[in-house]
Amino acid sequence: MANNHLLIEEWLLSASSLTPEEHQLLQEHLKSCEACRLFSEAWQEVEYRLKASPMRAPEPGFIDRWQLRLAEDRLKLQRRQTISTLAFGGAAALVLLIVLGVWALPLLRDPLPYLMLWSYQLITTFYMLSGVGQALGTVARTLFGLVPGTLWVALLVALGSLGVIWIVTFRKLTSPRRVIL
C-alpha cells in the first residue's frame, strides 16, 4: 500500500466518495509520501479554480446580433438557391440548344425538302379547319331554325341564374371565417 501511488492518484481524482477505511489509508499515505501530497494539493487547486470560475455571459445585445446573423444567413441561402436555379436553367438551355443543333443540322444543309413538307402540312391544316368551321355553321343554323326564340331567352336566363348562384356559394364557402386550417 505504501508505494501504491497509482491507487492513491485514483482515489484523489475519483469523483465518487471513499469509504472511511480508504479515506484513512489515503490520509496516512499522504503524511508519509511527499510526491502524493504535492499531487493532492495540486489537484485541490485545480478543482478550486474550476469551481470558482464563474459562468461567462455574452455582451449585451446578443439576441439582436443573432437575429441579424439569421437574416444574413437566410439572404445567403436565397442567393445560393437563385444562383443554383439560374445555373440549372442555363445548363438545361445549353443542353436543349445542343440537341436542337444536332437535330437541325440536316435541315441547314439541305432546307428545300423540309420547307416543301412544312408548306404541304400548313395547307392541309388550313383546309381541315375551314371544313370543321363550315360543319359547325351548318349545325348552328339548323338549331336556330328548330328552337323558338323565347326558349333561347329562357335558357340564357336559367344559365345566368345558375352562374350567379355558383359564384355566391363559392365566395361563402371560401371566406376566411369558414376556412379551418
Instruction: Give residues in contact with other proteins (CB under 8 A).
Output: 9-10, 13, 15, 38-39, 42-43, 45-46, 49-59, 62-63, 65-67, 69-70, 73
Compare residues 38 and 136 and give the one whose CB is closer to other proteins.
Answer: 38
Instruction: Give the shortest CB-14-to-other proteins separation in angstroms.
Output: 8
Compare residues 34 and 110 and give the one whose CB is closer to other proteins.
Answer: 34
| CB-CB contact of 9 with 38 (8 Å) | no
Which DSSP string do the residues of 118-157 spell out, in sequence order?
Answer: HHHHHHHHHHHHHHHHHHHHHHHHHHHHHS-HHHHHHHHH
Compare residues 25 and 40 and give the one whose CB is closer to other proteins.
Answer: 40
Q: How far from 87 is each of 93, 98, 160, CA to CA, in Å? A: 10, 16, 50
Contacts of 40 (CB under 8 A, 6+ apart): 12, 30
Distance CA 30, CA 37 (A): 5
Instruction: Give the shortest CB-105-to-other proteins separation in angstroms.
Output: 49
Nearest to 6, CA basis, from 107, 14, 135: 14
Instruction: Give the shortest CB-32-to-other proteins separation in angstroms.
Output: 19
For the chain, give the number of residues.
Answer: 181
Instruction: Give the shortest CB-61-to-other proteins separation in angstroms.
Output: 10
Compare residues 56 and 177 and give the one whose CB is closer to other proteins.
Answer: 56
Compare residues 63 and 105 and give the one whose CB is closer to other proteins.
Answer: 63
Instruction: Give the shortest CB-15-to-other proteins separation in angstroms.
Output: 8
